[in-house]
A and B are shown apart, each in its own frame.
Chain A
Amino acid sequence: MSFFSALQDNPFLLMALAAGFAASFASGIIGSYVVVKRIVSMSGSIAHSVLGGMGMFLWLRRTYGMEFLTPLQGALAAGLLSAILMGWIHLKYKEREDTVIAAIWATGMSIGVVFISLTPGYNVELMHFLFGNILWVSHSDIALLLSLDLLIAAAVALFYRRFLAICFDEQQATLQKAPVHTLYLLLLCLVAIAVVLLIQVVGAILVITMLAIPAAIAGTLTHALWRMMGIAILLGALFTFLGMYFSYELNWPPGATISLVAAVCYCINLVCQRKRAS
């Protein structure tokens, strides 16, 4: 059965595509800020630190029967915590920023590994979150994805120009009495939310590709941030679709295939850009 006929017959595949498109919306918007503000490594650190939260919540659920806790909630909590911590370090101790990013990256993962080893049973659920399994999304996951998308859209609609100002020239925004610290922390929290959304699609390890690559390609095609966001959303959706197509046809893992498609397109764009410049 081909991918297209499977799409008509298999509701799981359609749900997976819906999840991919929902995640592309978040990655296009927030990824554009991540690229222009040059906080890709910070986003990578947030993406990897969520493992600590996922591991802890799964451990609490399995060991103490706290059924209301899910790994996704753990990821969101850990992502927000590490975003605020990194933002605070950036604002107060700029000179130590790169060390702290690396420390949070490693600490989050270490906590995750410890909790995974403490959790009884085989943690297939965590493996899905680590490497992504878009075919695994449920109706409630889609509902969560769409509500977080809505939250990101509302926040960016309200703060578009203020975020633009702090990304372009933080010092000027300070002189204009903009609440630079609050805006910066809010932006990092939105990055954490986008990371959690993308974990559903490509997993925590590969999340940075979907956050940075569509926006990085879009940035070479336009000179306006809002247009960059639009193009990045379309590219993210395209990569998800192509990734799922190849994943189905070649029987490869979907998350990794989506990331690979994005990476190949990035390389093609780099070559085209060089040719345009020469």
Chain B
Amino acid sequence: MKEKILSIKHLCFQYDSMPVLEDVTVDLLEGEFIGMFGPNGGGKTTLLKLILGLLPSQKGEVLLFGKPPKEARHLIGYVPQAIRLDRAFPICVLEVVMMGALKQLDWLGRYPTSVRRKALDALEQVGMTHKAKAPFGTLSGGEAQRALIARAIIDAPRLLLLDEPTSNIDPEGERSILEMLSQLNKTMTLLMVTHDLQTIVDKVGKLLCVQRRVTCLKTTEVCEHFALGLYHTPLTSKNHFRHQ
């Protein structure tokens, strides 16, 4: 039986007095590839932050590998949107990737020699070895996203969380990133926030629709209306289902 690596039970969260998440209950099993979607302001980013332990849960429980998120951070990798980072920052790709092993710095501020090798291995996994010395700011959107994925997998995490890794990327770049993620899914569990349901629906095992409450859907239950931003849960009519 597959291990339960993420368990969320009756989770509620609100900013000031505005509820963002209500009674969320979700389980994630080892080896799964799950897509998370929903309207803007529906609570996707908040849920991701709660899983990462960047926000404290106010009510309910979040357990990663049976522990509170802060205690299990060494087992997870996180990929933010590349667009969030300063592209004018003077840093090369290899330095960015090595930051994924920041906790291994010794008291003199030096990385062990193994970190450089691991960073190059991670870059090879994402097909970016030739860009190791390139300035981060000169990368295309897709390449920058790959570099951030390399940073997240440098320490071989068991769970990889991705925040819209294919947004602002051309269709070709998007396809190749999704193929690469399918490869990574052979060795780690993936949870990916996305807006582009049509592209990922064939890649993921199941989908979470986050709209204050969270509904878990099979890929066959995804309605075409969702691609238009018309999220309606629970599903009511068989005619709305997309049959594979």
Q: Contact residues of A with B, CB < 8 Å? A: 36, 38, 157-162, 164-165, 167-169, 171-178, 219, 222-225, 227-228
In the complex, whether B103 has a CB less than 8 A from a CB of chain A is yes
Contact across chains for A164 and B103 when beta carbons are under 8 A apart:
no
Given A162-B105, A219-B88, verify A168-B78 contact (CB < 8 Å): no
16 A–B contacts from the bound complex (CB under 8 Å) = A158-B109, A164-B91, A165-B99, A165-B102, A168-B85, A168-B86, A171-B54, A172-B78, A174-B54, A175-B73, A176-B102, A176-B103, A222-B90, A223-B92, A224-B91, A225-B90
Contact flags B27-70 to A (C-beta < 8 A → 1, else 0): 00000000000000000000000001010000000000000000
- Bound form: Cα–Cα A227–B90 in Å: 9
Contact across chains for B90 and A36 when beta carbons are under 8 A apart:
yes
Contact across chains for A223 and B109 when beta carbons are under 8 A apart:
no
Which residue in chain B gives the minimum CB-CB distance to A169?
B85
Given A161-B109, A174-B54, verify A223-B91 contact (CB < 8 Å): yes
- Bound form: Cα–Cα A225–B92 in Å: 9
Q: How many cross-chain pairs have Cβ atoms below 8 Å apart between A and B?
A: 75
Residues on A with beta carbons closer than 8 Å to the beta carbon of B109: 157-162
Minimum C-beta distance from B54 to chain A (A): 7
Given A158-B109, A171-B80, A225-B91, verify A178-B103 contact (CB < 8 Å): yes
Residues on A with beta carbons closer than 8 Å to the beta carbon of B89: 36, 167-168
Residues on A with beta carbons closer than 8 Å to the beta carbon of B137: 223
Minimum C-beta distance from A153 to chain B (A): 13
Given A168-B99, A175-B73, A176-B100, verify A161-B88 contact (CB < 8 Å): no
Residues on B with beta carbons closer than 8 Å to the beta carbon of A157: 109
Q: Contact residues of B with A, CB < 8 Å? A: 52, 54, 73, 76, 78, 80, 85-86, 88-92, 95-96, 99-103, 105, 107-111, 135, 137-138, 151
Of the residues A158, A168, A175, contact of B91 by C-beta under 8 Å: A168
Residues on B with beta carbons closer than 8 Å to the beta carbon of A178: 102-103
Contact across chains for A223 and B135 when beta carbons are under 8 A apart:
yes
Minimum C-beta distance from B139 to chain A (A): 11
Residues on B with beta carbons closer than 8 Å to the beta carbon of A176: 73, 99-103
Of the residues B52, B96, B105, B111, contact of A175 by C-beta under 8 Å: B52
Residues on A with beta carbons closer than 8 Å to the beta carbon of B135: 223
- Bound form: Cα–Cα A178–B104 in Å: 10
- Bound form: Cα–Cα A168–B135 in Å: 13
List 18 additional contacts besides A36-B90, A160-B109, A168-B99; criterion CB under 8 Å: A38-B86, A158-B107, A158-B108, A161-B102, A161-B109, A161-B110, A161-B111, A164-B99, A171-B80, A172-B78, A172-B80, A172-B100, A175-B52, A178-B102, A219-B88, A224-B91, A225-B90, A225-B91
Residues on A with beta carbons closer than 8 Å to the beta carbon of B105: 161-162
- Bound form: Cα–Cα A167–B90 in Å: 11
Contact across chains for A169 and B80 when beta carbons are under 8 A apart:
yes
- Bound form: Cα–Cα A160–B95 in Å: 12
Of the residues B78, B80, B90, B103, contact of A224 by C-beta under 8 Å: B90
Residues on A with beta carbons closer than 8 Å to the beta carbon of B110: 161
- Bound form: Cα–Cα A224–B94 in Å: 12
- Bound form: Cα–Cα A164–B85 in Å: 13
Which residue in chain A gives the minimum CB-CB distance to B155?
A176
Minimum C-beta distance from B181 to chain A (A): 19
Residues on B with beta carbons closer than 8 Å to the beta carbon of A172: 78, 80, 99-100, 102, 151
- Bound form: Cα–Cα A219–B86 in Å: 13
- Bound form: Cα–Cα A178–B90 in Å: 21
Residues on A with beta carbons closer than 8 Å to the beta carbon of B101: 176
